[in-house]
């Protein structure tokens, strides 16, 4: 199924899945950006890259599905073991984990 992507990110479903694969969020501003396009809770200079990353995450089923050139996808260790990280800009990251084939606990942070 394909839909025109000139609408809010949440309305743009370019996948064949019957449900969204991002099932939970840690960052309220990022969730609002994804659902409504509002950039009030994120750095506006990150909005284009965040939109792209979230669109890919929303149809990903495995970490390999989000291993894009330049995204620096890598698994985290220590307290964040089980999470994956994608570079947005400088020290800013999107972190998330997979639960079966869903993406959960999506966060947007400067963790360095």
Q: Where are the domains of the chain?
A: 9-110
Q: Residue 85: which of 71, 100, 65 has the closest Cα?
A: 71
Q: Residue 51: which of 32, 76, 75, 65 has the closest Cα?
A: 32
Q: Residue 36: which of 11, 55, 57, 58 has the closest Cα?
A: 11
Two tokens at 111? 């963790």
Sign of CA dihedral 77, 66, 17, 43: positive
Give the tens place of pLDDT for each residue, 1-59.
333 343 334 444 444 445 668 999 999 999 999 999 999 999 999 999 999 999 999 99
CATH numeric code, 9-110: 3.30.2310.20
Distance from chain centroid for Cα 78: 21
Active site includes 112? yes
pTM (two decimals) = 0.81
Catalytic residue among 16, 17, 74, 112: 112
């Amino acid at each position: 199924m394909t839909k025109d992507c000139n609408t809010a990110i949440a309305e743009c479903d370019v996948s064949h899945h019957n449900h969204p694969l991002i099932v939970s969020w840690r960052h309220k501003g990022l969730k609002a950006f994804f659902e409504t396009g509002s950039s009030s809770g994120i750095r506006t200079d990150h909005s284009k890259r965040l939109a792209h990353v979230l669109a890919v995450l929303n149809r990903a089923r495995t970490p390999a599905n989000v291993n894009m050139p330049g995204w620096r996808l890598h698994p985290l260790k220590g307290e964040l073991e089980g999470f994956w990280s994608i570079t947005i800009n400088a020290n800013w990251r999107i972190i998330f984990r997979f639960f079966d084939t869903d993406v959960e606990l999506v966060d947007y942070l400067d963790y360095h």
